[in-house]
Structure 1
Amino acid sequence: MRSTFGGLNTMLLGLYAQQTGLDTVGHNVSNASTEGYSRQTVNLSATDPQTIYANGRSYQIGSGVQVQSVIRARDIYIDKQMWKEISTLNNAQSNETYLSKIESIFGENSTTGMQSVLNSFWSSWQTLSTNASDDGTRTTVRERGVELANAIQLAAKQLKNAGNDINSAVDLKINKINQITAEMASLNKQIVNVEAGGTDHANDLRDKRDLLVDQLSALVDTRVYEEANGSYTVQSGGTTLVNGNSSATLKTEKVQDTDYNDYEITSKIYVDGMPGQSLKFTNGEIKSLLDMQQSDQTGLKMYLNSLSTMSQFLLQDFNAVHRSGYGTDNSTNNNFFGKSTTDYASNATSSYTKNDWIKALEVNPDILVDGGNAKIAAKSSGGGIGVTQTNASGSTATVFATGKYTMGTTPTAVMVKVTNPATPGSINTIQYSTDGGHTWNGTDIALDANHHAQVPINGLSVDLYFSANTNNVSGDTYSFSLTNHSADSNFVISQSNAGGGAANIVSATGTYTNGDTATSIVVQPYDSTTASIDTATGTIKQIKYSTDGGTTWSTTPVAVNSTTGTFSFLVNGVTLTMKIAAKVGNKATDQYSFTLSKGNVASGDNAVLLGKRLKTDTSSTLGNSSLDGYYNSLIGTLGVQGQNAQRTVDNQQTLVDQINNWRESVSGVNLDEEMTNMIKFQKGYSAAARVLTTMDEMLDKLINGTGVVGR
């Protein structure tokens, strides 16, 4: 029969097994809040039984329990899905962060954003078009232009700064990858050593390694393969980052962007010692950072390029309209943006980079100096007073007049002579005569710093401008004639139908009653009947006019004067006499637009064209969009990108949370479950101890209470 002492070992094994169970429960409870920890369980199995021979036969009797293993609860398939989705989540979160930064740079959620600046610039031209003589309005246009240029420059600088900051972020992330992979290689070595016998399980070391894979997956796309010896092989970006107990060290290389020489980009990430192999990550935060820095489709580079395109449009297309117009000093061919000496539409700018266009954007310095407001080209033509000069090689003179002519219909012949040319021949002072040079005004009139002289003649203030020239001599004369229409010489009429007959203002008489505020006038045939227009010959017989851009019209038709072929109508105290040429192309919907202002010397028609250039006219530079439409499209794209990023983050976060819940259901520590296990192992331990006590009593009886007869 079996020895009574054999039961002691059985109970001892039971105590050991329950103690191990209690220790494992304690380990689980202690690490219930530890990141990356996996619940551990004790696997128990019965020991090999003993064969007992008794009563002529044999039978098996149990010899106790043994701890087979302590293993962690983990599902590798859930882990691999988690690692994949973590990469996507962090990629989207990084995109959302930088798109929010771009939205802040453009400031479209505030009243001071780029759109507000563009609208203010356009509004200033609209105001100038109806008040072109007012210097305060011109100053507003100039300052709004400065504001726009500064806003574009600042936005470009902030975008570049954000892009340059990405370099530091990438370097930090690469250093973190190097730390993670080095630690994973170290853990690989430890795990292989622990599990070398094939029976032990490096549970806590494996948890640490899997947590590192979680962290690595947030940075880059990660593929993990477990080798037969328990080590991980980790691949990403087309290379192996961890292989056994060795890891790759990653480095970065930076270069200046080809389009922006003050914008540094991370050109490649490579394994130390292999600079020719550029890693191509397909997911994770680093992929998002590199795309945001370099992509001209979705990243910072796209928005930089858009600012460059806007700058190019202002320097080329907008300037072209401004250069074609005239300032109040009758100067023309002036840039509004950029340097005064550069024609940005010529071959001189053919080698400009995208960065050059942004850097070149500024309001013309010649406009910013004292008196420079006069160069703002609000009108489409200069003075209409013809000038003849005796010295063909001397300065050319430009003349225009304001005021009310006091000589009726009698013209005044005016002669101006140079009285004191400076060395080497520029004009310093002049005198003038109104009787063909027989008598002169007698007092030299000095030219100002801008080569202008203001001369009052017969109720008109005559502005004389002389170009810079070194060939003038004393006695040079300039001759022109003033009439009762001299103050009206700057009417410029634009017509909606280029194929229709041209129109002109024959005369403008009377005293303007609208002060310094200009009046925009639109004229068109009264209606489509034959009483208003003969479409066969193109003769217009009746017209109507509007002073509010065509919203309301005069209600009584203005009939043509059959003798002169003109139309006369009264606007703000001024009687306008207008002639429209007969042409077969004339239509009932044709419109003629012009501006009437005090003195009519500062027409705002070119300001209207410049406003249209900003708001409605399309340009091939902007992809056949208007500037307003181009910018709205840009901001619309930014808004959609931001919404997509937010939606991706929300959806991906939901998915990651769900996978994490699955992982927790397998690996997480449930305190209620652990309390149940604790009670189970505690009761098991107590029961084993009680059995051991009973066996002790049996042995005591056997040893001390038997063997002596009669005791």
Structure 2
Amino acid sequence: MSLLSSLNTGTRGLFASQMAMDIAGQNISNADVEGYSRKRLNLSTESRYDSALGQVGMGVSIVNIERMRNTFIDDQIRRQNVEVGYFEEMNHTFRRIENIFTEPGDTGVLHFMDQFFDSWQNLANNPADLSARTMVKTNAEILTNVFHNVAGELRDLRQTRNDEITQKVNRINQITEQIYNLNLEIGAVEVGGQNANDSRDQRDRLLKELSKITDISMTENKMGQITVSASGSILVSPVNHQKLEMTTSSQKTSDGKSVTDIAIRFAESKRPFNPGGGHLKGLFDSRDISVPQYQDYIDQLALSLVEHVNSLHTAGYTMEGYSGVFFFDPETTGASDIEISASIASDVHNIAAASAGEIQSAVTNTVAPTAHQYGDPPAQLFRVPDATPPVEARNIVRDSVVVRTADNLLREGVDYHINYQNGTFQLLHNGYDDQEFTIDFNYRTGGFMGPGDNSTALNIAQLRTDLVMNPDTVGNHTSTFSEFYSSFIGKLGLSKNQSQNNLETREFLVEQYQSHQDSISAVSLDEEMANLIRYQHTYQASARLISTTDRMLDVLMNM
């Protein structure tokens, strides 16, 4: 082995030691960078064959710079991230719904419904008291406002899911474009047999983020480039990346409001994109399943309240002795548009606290041709003919009157007008002057018992404990208003706890996988400092070899 070979050996040692210290410095400077994988310099011995000695060492050779990472663990983290992303969105949605209902508490629907029925009980104790009637009206208005607020916030929550879906889709497009560009970088580096370590780290970070947004599958070719697929189509390939785009559709809800829904499709193929997991599936399930479910619950409660209160109220008498007055607007379609009726809003005297009698049906009057003509004032034509003597029938049951002539069926509001409280009839145009009228109607017996009667107020107050919700298979109701409300609030709590538990389980698994990965790829400052000292000494030793060989050459040249 010549002195020049010794110089070459020392030079190789210097270069390898310097490269090793550079890598240790790179590891130390990136110790706190998320997703950075520590690098390791792989070395091998360099030798030549000598016929007399066999293999003779020629120093050290740099093989490559290796990224310390377990790709199998990365795949497991991505798989669990899909579940983490999904349950994050579901848990967020259930928490938002809990905040909307604010139960248990003094600002929720149940509290104000109790106050509403309390005011009816108070009115039953003081049926002629105007302040008690005003309290019924006020508490009803507060309750309807609470229904409006809950329905509005649920509707807004559903719409915000659309905005978040749009943000996630935009982020997917950004990520897929970056992965495509990194594919090009990695392919250009690794086609020569080297490792594109930093580009792979960046790509792994993007894949980890993407897996939390939607479920993905991935394959890698021999050049290190990957193909990412989702929803049955390729998002990224070594030669292309496909963008996603939004489509919108609008529909009318039962209360007449417009709701906009968005969907996702591939921009090039126009095929629908249906996420199978991650944030996007959680957002779609929240928007299309979870939130509408609780919208339906609160609508059922509002409609049942309107139906049962109106049923009793229209049968009762106001302070002036009128019946047939609605307490709530009968056109209510749900919690978003429940209102007290115009009659109650305008005058608390129209609150029916007194009760009416039983409905008597199938009463027929026959009116002579000259008894009533167009232009005549309203006439008391409703009488009970089989009574002795015949009595006037007031408080006619609304929509029960049928008026016929020999040739025609007359139309209410077009051919005639009826005052249901007073039991009067009036023609609205000519053409029936010589015709006999047959009038069928239902009426109530008993009559008005006076403003001190509290029967209807008691019946409405009793609704608090009546079984009016959740009909069984044969149509019998099985729960009260409060039991129905408490049941779906309890279901909300269970759903939230279940999503929270699922989220914590998946996060724990990700944490365990990440801890295992960190034990392989994370930078240990103690280890890197030890490497610096070690390579410093190998650098100094290589330098000493070169200086010693230089002196030997100097001696040899001066002989």
**TM-score higher than 0.5:** yes
Whether contact under 8 Å (1:187, 1:205) holds in the other structure is yes
The counterpart of 1:171, out of the listed 166, 185, 188, is 166
User: Is 1:616 the counterpart of 2:466 in the alignment?
Assistant: yes
Change in CA separation of 1:228 and 1:667 when aligned onto 2, cut-off 3 Å: same
- Specify whether residues 86 and 263 from structure 1 end up closer, same or farther in structure 2 by C-alpha distance, changes over 3 A only: farther
1:374 is aligned, of 349, 352, 376, to 349
2:314 aligned partner: 323
Would you say the 8 A contact 1:616–1:628 is kept in 2?
no
Root mean square deviation of aligned Cα: 2.6
CA deviation after TM superposition for structure 1 residue 186, in Å: 0.7
Q: What one-letter code is carried by the residue in structure 2 that aligns with 1:642?
A: K
Whether the aligned pair in 2 keeps the contact of 1:186 and 1:245 (CA below 8 Å) is no
Equivalent residues of 1:122, 1:615 under 8 A apart: no
- TM-aligned CA distance change 1:650 to 1:395, over 3 Å: farther
**SS class of match (1:45):** strand
- Residue 318 of structure 2 aligns to a residue whose secondary structure is coil
Question: Is residue 309–residue 621 contact of structure 1 (8 Å, CA) maintained in 2?
Answer: no
What CA distance in whole angstroms lies between the structure 2 residues aligned with 1:696 and 1:266? Answer: 80
Query: Which residue is equivalent to 1:659?
Result: 513
**CA separation of 1:620/1:110 partners in 2, compared to 1, >3 Å: closer, same or farther?**
closer
| CA apart distance, 1:608 | 2.3
Aligned partner of 1:685 among 506, 528, 539: 539
The equivalences for 1:220-231 within 5 A come to: 220-231=214-225
Cα distance change on mapping 1:3 and 1:360 into 2, 3 Å: closer
SS in structure 1 of the partner of residue 3 of structure 2:
coil
Matches of 1:467 and 1:490 in 2, distance apart?
A: 14
Cα offset, 1:311, TM superposition: 2.5
The answer to whether the 8 A contact 1:251-1:271 is kept is yes
Query: Which position in structure 1 is the counterpart of 2:110?
Result: 115
Task: Give the Cα separation in 1 of the matches to 2:25 and 2:85.
Answer: 35
2:326 paired residue among 335, 345, 349: 335
In the TM superposition, 1:101-180 aligns within 5 A as 101-180=96-175
Equivalent pair of 1:219/1:286 in contact (CA under 8 Å): yes
Tell me by how many angstroms 1:227 deviates.
Answer: 1.6
| Partner secondary structure for residue 235 of structure 2 | strand
- SS in structure 2 at match of 1:316: helix
**Which of residues 221, 232, 249 in structure 1 aligns to 2:226?**
232
What residue number does 2:40 align with? 41
TM normalised by structure 1 equals: 0.64
Cα distance, 1:489–1:282 mapped onto 2, change above 3 Å: closer
Question: What aligned pairs does 1:250-329 form with structure 2 within 5 A after superposition?
Answer: 250-257=244-251, 259=253, 262-275=257-270, 277-295=271-289, 299-329=290-320
CA displacement at 1:114 relative to structure 2: 1.4
TM normalised by structure 2 equals 0.81
SS at match of 2:248: strand
Change (3 A) 1:489 1:270: closer
CA-to-partner distance for each residue in 1:226-266, whole Å, 9 max, x for gaps?
12221111112222111113111001212224645635343
2:189 corresponds, among 169, 187, 194, to 194
Assess, with a 3 A threshold, how the Cα gap between structure 1 residues 685 and 69 changes in structure 2: closer, same or farther.
same
Contact 1:52 1:61 in 2 (8 A): no
What SS does the aligned partner of 1:603 have? Answer: coil
2:551 is the counterpart of 1:701: no
State which structure, 1 or 2, has the greater radius of gyration over its C-alpha atoms. 1
Residue number in structure 2 paired with 1:6:
5
Residues 443-497 of structure 1: CA distance to partner in whole angstroms, max 9, x if unpaired?
xxxxxxxxxxxxxxxxxxxxxx9677769xxxxxxxxxxxxxxxx9867xxxxxx
Instruction: Sort the Cα spacing of 1:667 and 1:262 in 2 relative to 1 into closer, same or farther, 3 A.
Output: farther
Q: CA deviation at 1:313?
A: 1.2
Question: What is the rounded CA distance, in whole Å, between the counterparts of 1:624 and 1:188 in structure 2?
Answer: 62
Q: Give the distance between the partners of 2:482 and 2:455, measured in 1 at CA.
A: 20
Write out aligned runs for 1:221-620 (5 A).
221-257=215-251, 259=253, 262-275=257-270, 277-295=271-289, 299-338=290-329, 356-369=333-346, 372-381=347-356, 394=378, 601-619=451-469
Are 2:381 and 2:424, in contact at CA under 8 Å, matched by a contact in 1?
no
The 1:175/1:99 distance shift into structure 2, 3 A limit, reads same
Counterpart amino acid of residue 482 in structure 2 = D
Deviations 1:584-642 (A, max 9, x none): xxxxxxxxxxxxxxxx7432222222123243322457974322211111111111122
User: What CA distance in whole angstroms lies between the structure 2 residues aligned with 1:218 and 1:111?
Assistant: 38
From the two aligned structures, give the one with the greater helix fraction.
2
Using the TM superposition, give the Cα deviation of residue 42 of structure 1 relative to its aligned residue in structure 2, in angstroms. 0.5
SS in 2 for 1:35: coil
Q: Which amino acid aligns with 2:455?
A: D
Change (3 A) 1:257 1:643: farther
Inter-partner Cα distance in structure 2 for 1:162 and 1:468:
52
Contact 1:395 1:466 in 2 (8 A): no
Distance 2:470 2:69 in 1: 61
**1:37-76 aligned within 5 A:** 37-51=36-50, 53=52, 58-76=53-71
Q: What do residues 175-199 of structure 1 show as CA deviations (whole Å, max 9, x unaligned)?
A: 110000011011001100110112x
Q: Contact 1:91–1:288 (CA<8 Å) still a contact in 2?
A: yes
Q: Deviations over 1:400-420 (max 9, x none)?
A: xxxxxxxxxxxxxxxxxxxxx
Alpha-carbon separation, structure 1, partners of 2:190 and 2:214: 29
The Cα offsets for residues 390-443 of structure 1, whole Å up to 9 and x where unpaired, read as x99856699xxxxxxxxxxxxxxxxxxxxxxxxxxxxxxxxxxxxxxxxxxxxx
Letter in 1 for 2:355: S
* In 1, Cα distance between equivalents of 2:196 and 2:528: 21
- CA pair 397-614 structure 1, distance change in 2 beyond 3 A: farther
Structure 1 residue 86: Cα displacement: 1.6
1:630 to 1:52, Cα distance in 2 relative to 1, 3 A: same
CA distance in 2, matches of 1:48, 1:262: 83
Aligned to 2:393: none
Structure 2 match to 1:203: 197
Aligned residues: 482
Unaligned runs of 5+ in 2: 359-370, 383-420, 428-445
Deviation at 1:52, TM superposition (A): 5.2
> What is the match of residue 630 of structure 1?
484
CA distance in 1, matches of 2:160, 2:511: 31
Deviation at residue 131 of structure 1 after TM alignment: 1.7
Mark the CA change 1:644 to 1:257 in structure 2 (over 3 Å): closer, same or farther.
Answer: farther
C-alpha displacement of 1:652: 2.4
User: C-alpha distance in 2, partners of 1:52/1:687?
Assistant: 29
Match of 2:504 among 640, 643, 650: 650
Tell me, in whole angstroms, the C-alpha distance in 1 between the residues paired with 2:541 and 2:248.
70
Distance 1:52 1:687, change over 3 A: farther
Give the percent of matched residue pairs that are identical in Structure 1 and Structure 2: 29
Structure 1 residues 142, 468: CA separation in 2 closer, same or farther (over 3 Å shift)? farther
Q: Distance in 2 between matches of 1:86 and 1:32?
A: 24
8 Å contact 2:252–2:259 — kept in the other structure? no
Rounded to whole Å, the distance in 1 between the matches of 2:381 and 2:337 is 33
Q: What residue identity is the alignment partner of 1:245?
A: V
- Cα distance in 2 between the residues matched to 1:618 and 1:266: 34
d(CA) in 2 for partners of 1:468, 1:21? 107
Listed as ranges, the gaps of 5+ residues in structure 1 are 345-355, 384-390, 399-464, 472-487, 492-599, 707-711
- Note if contact 1:129-1:607 (Cα within 8 Å) is conserved in structure 2: yes
Q: For residues 33 and 160 of structure 1, what CA distance do their matches in structure 2 show?
A: 43
Answer yes or no: is the 8 Å Cα contact 1:254–1:264 preserved in 2: no
Amino acid in structure 2 at the alignment position of 1:232: I
